[in-house]
Amino acid sequence: MTALKNDRFLRALLKQPVDVTPVWMMRQAGRYLPEYRATRARAGDFVSLMKNPELACEVTIQPLDRYPQIDAAILFSDILTIPDAMGQGLYFETGEGPRFKMHVSSMADIEALPVPDPEKDLGYVMDAVRTIRRELNGRVPLIGFSGSPWTLATYMVEGGSSKDFRKTKAMLYNSPEAMHALLDKLALSVTSYLNGQIKAGAQAVQIFDSWGGALSSAAYQEFSLAYMRKIVSGLIREHEGRRVPVILFTKGGGLWLESMAEAGAEALGLDWTCDIGSARARVGDKVALQGNMDPAVLYSSPESIRAEVARILASYGQGSGHVFNLGHGITPEVDPENAKAFFAAVHELSAQYHQ
């Protein structure tokens, strides 16, 4: 087991003292980087890149090589690997996003879905985790991840992306027993999948609830948060002699932070619509917080980026328990030099809050 040279990300998630606020960025291995675009071109397409452990490792590490301030690597993969392993047939349409050849519309469809075995059915992901851990050689921790059951269900029922989730919400309200059956099977699958990543070497895991914010408050509690809580309760929490922190991220979930803080995770991810200082006051010492700069700030000047970083750091205030991140993923059109300004500003400006 290689000792971690930089563990401030893990320590901040556990609210332990750090020298500066750790930072990483959702989608930090992505299309804004020319080196990523070159590797993706070599792979042929996104799915081929994702399913090649060596190339997935290459793009995971690319941003670390460019930006030495990054305090964590995140596995290069996709949230839709589980539905694909269930036989839904994932593919990507240019300009249209992810699509599935099959979609779920009945209890019979749900009952026919298998619970994927991490090593047999998603072995390329586990191989990627092992490869990345080996190549990182203790440089920074590796984050594993999955989509939340609710988020995965929306893609499986709609057959792809959706603006209004018409089919998914119709199932939720017309056939709640079918939706619960689907979510229960997905919760089992996500738990197994994340535990597989942890066994393979992931040192923290994040659950991406990209579409939980589309639900009403009551529906969020019943159809999203309840299943994330179930997953957290089933995860391996100690591995390689360390705690394995869990981060829950519901985009648009600012209304439910108190409930989320009781779900058993170490940290909550915040999108940019929620003031981080107010969020800290609401959750107290129950969880760490991750976030939450608006990704669009990265289209501005380095001076404006620095000012927004300073504002968010001041809003959170003194002490550990903050992992700096964007409120969602970096977008493809961002100038890589602006990302550099972002990472540098977090480390430079945060030291005063850890004295």
Cα–Cα distance, 120 to 302 (Å, whole number): 46
Instruction: Give 3-state DSSP helix, strand, coil % of the chain, rounded to 5.
Output: 50, 15, 35
| CA 99 to chain CA centroid, nearest Å | 20
**Which residue carries 């059109």 as its tokens?**
333
- Active site (annotated) includes residue 11: no
Known binder of ligand: residue 155?
Answer: yes
- Active site (annotated) includes residue 155: yes
Q: Please count the residues of the chain.
A: 355
Token readout for 317 is 């205030």
Pairing type for strands 97-100 and 90-93 reads antiparallel
Known binder of ligand: residue 239?
Answer: no
- Active site (annotated) includes residue 31: yes
CB 83 within 8 A of CB 100: yes
DSSP 242: E
Cα–Cα distance, 158 to 227 (Å, whole number): 20
Candidates 204, 228, 202; CA nearest to 215 is 228
Known binder of ligand: residue 299?
Answer: no
Could you say which of 32, 36, 67, 155 is catalytic?
155
Could you say which of 40, 99, 229, 280 is catalytic?
40
Cα–Cα distance, 323 to 11 (Å, whole number): 10
Known binder of ligand: residue 30?
Answer: yes
Cα angle at 339 between 136 and 332, to 5 degrees? 95
CB 60 within 8 A of CB 29: yes
**Which residue carries 């590797």 as its tokens?**
39
Token readout for 282 is 């609401």
Cα–Cα distance, 267 to 249 (Å, whole number): 9
- Active site (annotated) includes residue 78: yes
Residue 253 main-chain phi, psi, to 5 deg: -95, 15
Please, what sign has the CA dihedral across residues 204, 338, 327, 47? negative
**Which residue carries 């909550």 as its tokens?**
268
Could you say which of 71, 78, 121, 271 is catalytic?
78
Q: Where does 185-231 show beta strands of DSSP type E? A: 204-209
Known binder of ligand: residue 229?
Answer: no
Known binder of ligand: residue 31?
Answer: yes
Could you say which of 11, 27, 99, 229 is catalytic?
27
Known binder of ligand: residue 184?
Answer: no
Residues labelled as active-site residues: 27, 31, 40, 78, 155
- Annotated binding residues, as ranges? 27-31, 78, 155, 210, 328
- Annotated binding residues for substrate, as ranges? 27-31, 78, 155, 210, 328
